[in-house]
Amino acid sequence: MLRIACLCAVLAAPANAECRLALALAVDVSRSVDSQDYVIQTDGLAAALEDHAVREAIFGPEGDVALAIYYWSGRGYQDLIQPWVILDNPEALDAAIWTVRRTKRPSSRLATALGDALRYGADLMANAPDCARKVIDVAGDGQNNEGISVARTYEREDFTGITVNGLAVGEHEAGIVFYYQTEVIRGPGAFVETAVRQTDYPAAIRRKLLRELQGPMIGANVVPGGNEG
């Protein structure tokens, strides 16, 4: 069973006037993600963070990046595997990568409570370092099927100033890309990256990280609550 992370016990990192991006990676570990899928996701995310181009983007001259990573599945089950850390040196990034590689797959096979996962992400962002942009990067392969809906989460929670991007894995459920495009992504410059199969996940998460680190595309016509235009 995923341990239930208590946000009240997570202290906000010190404010950093030069932080350009607070990035929370939300990774689906629900019952549709089997042991093989989990290895692909874990290795893919770690490899993306180790990638030369991604590292260059993280340590660019524009300012620091703050990173948090949490796993999510059923209602009330979110696991903050990497609390907020300012990636102001290679050692900090390497430590986060090691955390990803050593975190074991949850033993419980739970449903897909995406609304709950997004609500958790909003609370996590409330404790984020003081950064110019706030982005939740949510990856998943299924629609919400337990707990509060995504739409109701957006109605009830304060996502002001938060962009939600999606990585839709299309192998297990038809229409998942459209669902992420129309229901999940939100905010300035929001977009959906696609992995047609689980084996496409590593390349997709690398593309997604590079795009998020580079910032919103000039000319993107997106408003809070809207989709990429």
Distance CA 130, CA 22 (A): 8
Alpha-carbon distance 76 to 117, whole Å? 8
pLDDT score of 1 more than 80 = no
pLDDT-derived band of residue 173, with 50, 70 and 90 as boundaries?
confident
pLDDT in tens, 116-152: 999 999 999 999 999 999 999 999 989 999 999 999 9
pLDDT given for residue 171 in this prediction: 74
Using CA atoms, how far residue 23 sits from 79, 87, 179, 222, in Å, is 16, 11, 22, 19
**pTM for the complete prediction?**
0.86
- Mean pLDDT, range 86-90, rounded to an integer: 96
Longest dimension (CA), the chain: 44
Residue 217 binned pLDDT confidence (cut-offs 50, 70, 90): low
Task: State phi, psi for 12 to the nearest 5 degrees.
Answer: -65, 140
Q: 141 versus 170: which is more confidently predicted?
A: 141
pLDDT tens readout for residues 10-58: 444 444 458 999 999 999 999 989 899 999 999 999 999 999 999 999 9
**CA separation (Å) from 7 to 98, 99, 114, 124, 164?**
23, 19, 18, 7, 19
Residue 225 pLDDT exceeds 60? no
Give residue 200's identity as a one-letter amino acid code.
D
pLDDT score for 16: 45
Beta strand residue intervals within the chain, DSSP E: 19-28, 64-72, 78-86, 131-140, 162-169, 192-195
Residue 7 is predicted with a pLDDT of 43
Contact of 141 with 172, CB cutoff 8 Å: yes
Q: Catalogue all structural domains in the chain, each as residue range(s) with its CATH number.
A: 14-214 (3.40.50.410)
Looking at every residue in the chain, the average pLDDT score rounds to: 88
d(CA 124, CA 148): 18
**Tokens standing for 59?**
């340590």
Alpha helices in 63-195 (DSSP H): 90-102, 114-126, 150-156, 176-179
| Cα-trace Rg, the chain | 16
